[in-house]
Amino acid sequence: ADGYYEYTMQECVYSTSDYSDMVFLVSLSFNKDVFVQFNSTVGKFVGLTEFGVKQAENFNKDQAILQQSKAQVDTVCRPNAQLSDSAVRDKT
């Protein structure tokens, strides 16, 4: 049980059937404390701790990381939600 614990959680959140409110969220945690979050609606990383603020600044300076994170709504979230939803809806 000694050591360090690092965890990244990625979520696609929506409540409408047309996915117009789809949001991609990322939370980075260290030893169970969230230190950075990304929200596709906000469009940038936000630091929640002193270390997280520095990490968020670095992520936000890297246009490749920022654009890839913003694009996840269309490249990952919507296609997977459509597959998932159709699999559930089509079952009778």
Q: What is the pLDDT of residues 34-75, one digit of tens each?
A: 999 999 999 999 999 999 999 999 999 999 999 999 999 999
Decide if 48 contacts 56 (C-beta within 8 A): no
Q: Where are the domains of the chain?
A: 6-89
Among the four given CATH numbers 3.10.320.10, 3.30.450.20, 3.40.50.1010, 3.90.1150.10, the one describing domain 6-89: 3.10.320.10
Q: Does the structure show a pLDDT above 80 at 90?
A: no
DSSP category for residue 70: H
Can you tell me the mean pLDDT for 14-39?
Answer: 95
Residue, of 27 and 85, whose pLDDT is higher: 27
Q: How far is CA 83 from the centre of its chain?
A: 19
- Between the two ends of the chain, the Cα-to-Cα distance in Å is 46
Rg (CA), the chain: 16
Report residue 80 as tokens.
């997977």
pLDDT of residue 88: 79
pTM of the entire structure? 0.86
Query: Residue 76: which of 7, 37, 16, 26 has the closest Cα?
Result: 26
